[in-house]
Amino acid sequence: MLSRYGVCLIVVDDVESRLGKSPHVDVDGLQAISDTWQVPFLFVGTEDLIGTVSHSDTLRRRSITLLKWPAYHPGPGWDLFIRGLWRYQYTRTEAPLTAALSEALYEYTSGLADMAVHLYTQAQIAAISQGLQMGTSDKPLTVDVLRQVYATQIPPWRNQQ
């Protein structure tokens, strides 16, 4: 019973690769785990997930619905999201959030929150690694670092846009 330890939700990301894009989901098995642990699951995935799980009669009987989180559009919603995300900066040399950095994140992620979080995280790792290679504590997060990480470490995203 994970609920005793303050766990109120288990988030399962990248569901499609775990399910192997099979049209058959072992919903009864997942439900048994959820019932045993007394904690619900939240499945996170792309629109492929909807097609994958919609084949399950068990899901329909249990009235399980999938939350669609659309991409942000440039504007107040995106700005609020990025300001919140920017608080989680772990580089020693803190980079202030600029319009150029926000615009670059939007451009490279098409406003998709999950992609923005991944790109932001990987860019920080790259900035820290590059700084260590140069013999300094880290390198500040810049548009160039975002561009480099996008171009070298996240090629599958470019194919999906």
Q: Which among 116, 43, 107, 46 has a CA at the least distance from the CA of 80? A: 116
Confidence of residue 102 (pLDDT cuts 50, 70, 90): very high
Confidence of residue 97 (pLDDT cuts 50, 70, 90): very high
What residues pair up with 43 in beta bridges, in sequence order?
A: 12
Mind listing the pLDDT tens digit for each residue in 128-153?
A: 887 776 767 667 888 999 999 998 87
* Rounded-to-integer distance, Cα 20 and Cα 8, Å: 27
Instruction: Show me where the domains of the chain are located.
Output: 2-61, 76-160
Q: Provide the token pair at 24.
A: 């058959």
Work out whether the CA dihedral 85, 90, 96, 102 comes out positive or negative: negative
Q: Which among 150, 145, 152 has a CA at the least distance from the CA of 112? A: 150
pLDDT the model gives residue 58? 55
Please state the pTM of the whole predicted model. 0.60
